[in-house]
Amino acid sequence: MANDDGKQLGGKRLGPFLVDSRLAVGGTSEVFLVRRHGVTPSPTLVLKRPLSWLQSDENFREMFAREAQLQALVRHRNVVEVFETGLLPGGEPFLTLEFVDGIDGYRLLRRLRQEDRKLASGVAVHLVAELLEALSAVHAARDPAGHPLGIIHRDVSPSNLYIGEDGRVKLGDFGLASTMHRASRPDSGATLKGKFAYVAPEQVEGIPFDHRADLFSAAIVLAEALLGQQLFRGAGQLAVLLAIRDCDLAPLDALEGVVPGGLLGALRNALAKDPNHRFQDAIAFRAAILPFAAPPPQAARALRSEVLRIRGNPTRAMERVSPATVVGATFESLTAGVAQPPPKGPAELPSGFGVPAALAPEPTRAPTLPEMREPATTTSYGTAANFFRSPDGTTHGPLSFAELIEALIVGRIEATDPVSYQGAPFVPCGTIDELLRFLPSATATTTALNGPDLAAGRTILTPLALLSHLADGWRMRGDAALICERPLRGDVHESGRVDRKEIYLREGFLYQVASNEPSELLGEFLLRRGQLDGPGLALAKGHLSRYEGRMGDTLIALGLVDPMTIFQAIRAQGRSRLADLFGWPEGSLLVVPGGAKVRPEFPLKLDILTALVEATSTVTFPVPTGPFRAVPNVDRPESRPTPSTRTGAPAALPPLLERVLDGLTVDGSAAYDDLLRHLARGGYSELDARRALHILIAAGLATRV
């Protein structure tokens, strides 16, 4: 039965239900329109059940049951209702849901964009105010004993917002919902929960989050309804996640003078990077925007008109199956492989559903939004063989594109080495535009930009020296580059080559950690973490040329690794490279004040002190001499706004450092043994005390007396 289409299923039985049609099949579940057998009259219901291959998976069955339980506990006019849950005769779990006969918010906003139109701002505000009513009920839900559940929806997006033909708005699909005790810890494997363009910065960072993440997602929905465009954008999914992490609200500038100032101010408040600077609950958010909403009856009438107009267009066959949207199937999943006609102008509204002039949909002639950068074409990267010549005159090749890129990244090819790229004559690598961005930053080219004799400034690399310079970067909030090298190990044919790591600090953050070690490339890093297998990596390397040599984008495009896993892996990769560097038994360190002007495609923006605590967990530092005290009047992190944000987000100290500072005073001193006892009560070891004190002293937060 699972392979039948909707017409074949009509009239068949699923336990006590008669199937009218199958609406959609997703990645984990399938959904049907059903009626209860033998009941007259029988209302239409939506039945959802897991796909057959997941029905024996106990973890998924538990998740499926939790979805039903959580949604059933939320009873509100703006939440899709769960009627029943149980087992079908074959032992398959199921749940039945309220059938919302309409469309989802994704289809509504998508159609308006195609037609170069927008909802009237008052209607858009009403839509999100109804969503916030639903979230208020979700977040306030209690169990049968009256205890707060602390439910977080975690998937607030236009495709889970359902608009009926009566104009009512409902929130559905609790498949990713969790209670606070689950969401308070980072997700295992850093898997993205929710549509990646609608998550909050704290979810992107992989740190604990609460119900305020749902409010951020609701604010994105409002912003997109007002803009008529996606709020967080970029050339690829990783770029979108970066925009969310940095809370890049530049697109909202286009709303200045277009929507009321009070509404725009409330929207910026709701989109604050720091959850503590946002509205603290859905009620407060709704109260702030409600004065700008159209009257509910008129707004519902306007939404009803749009729903009927969109559903009544006979030229878009797939939109006739719109009931599938009530159970979370996305428009893309329903239209896969279906050619879409070109966008048309606004259709005439059905007779009897005129919209008051004040609520008429607004054409998107203003604001003017910056163009989204399209993914670069792949014509520059062909499949012809590549060659390069090493300084001793040896020609290496033929190399595939992936092999050429790896040779560039690990430093086997330098800017002056001759390269035959895709069959072209040999020319210096640094003159080939397509390859420039793969050259390590600390090549002869970069050295020339920073002075002719930087080697004279090299010092011996030690854990304390590295820690000191990194902590200086945090304290001074400046830019610098730390170039670390050691003789290449193993290959006698590579004499003169070096292992190199390059650390870039910008505005007091760890901006980038580059490495020329093949084992530290992204694909190999994912392989070691068990997030990618060997055949998958080989497949990605074979397709690398289609995505400008970007392994992350290649893996995402091929569906081998999800965007959030890639995002978190790149950040973990940077931390891992730093930790590895602290373990080098030998090497040299060169500090370039101001730093090389590297422009990484993925700036890590890691808090330096947090990165230091993590990277030094296995380093045995010498016992610091004391006693010690905290430094008075120091600019603590609570007042340090992160760069590239309007709202500012305080970077709290890591718990270990906070614990040590709690044991220090500014007007007295603490002996080392006293600090050890204080730390032991917090579960920390003597080695923790050593590294914490060295970090705090280097950062200027503590001093020896």
Residue 517 to residue 533: CA distance in whole angstroms: 20
Backbone angles phi, psi at 627, to 5 degrees: -75, 180
Q: How many CB atoms lie within 10 A of CB 11?
A: 8
Q: Report cis status (omega within 30 of 0) of the bond before 341.
A: no
CATH architecture of structural domain 379-439:
2-Layer Sandwich (3.30)
Query: pLDDT tens across 457-502, in order?
Result: 688 999 999 999 999 989 888 888 899 988 876 554 455 678 889 8
Mean pLDDT, residues 316-330: 35
Encoded amino acid at 100, one letter: V
CATH architecture of structural domain 100-333:
Orthogonal Bundle (1.10)
pLDDT for residue 634: 56
Which CA distances in Å does 667 have to 264, 637, 670? 47, 21, 10
Among the ranges given (21-35, 413-427, 581-595), the one the predictor scored with the smallest mean pLDDT: 21-35
pTM for the whole structure: 0.71
pLDDT for residue 324: 33
Q: Are 61 and 133 in contact (CB under 8 A)?
A: no
Q: Is the pLDDT of residue 545 over 60?
A: yes
Which CA distances in Å does 685 have to 275, 409, 629, 670, 681? 32, 39, 20, 17, 10
Which structure tokens are listed for 506?
């910008």
Among the ranges given (144-158, 423-437, 619-633), the one the predictor scored with the smallest mean pLDDT: 423-437
Question: DSSP assignment of 166-209, as one string?
Answer: TS-EEE---TT-EEHHHHTSPPGGG---S-GGG--HHHHHT---
Q: Is the pLDDT of residue 390 over 80?
A: yes
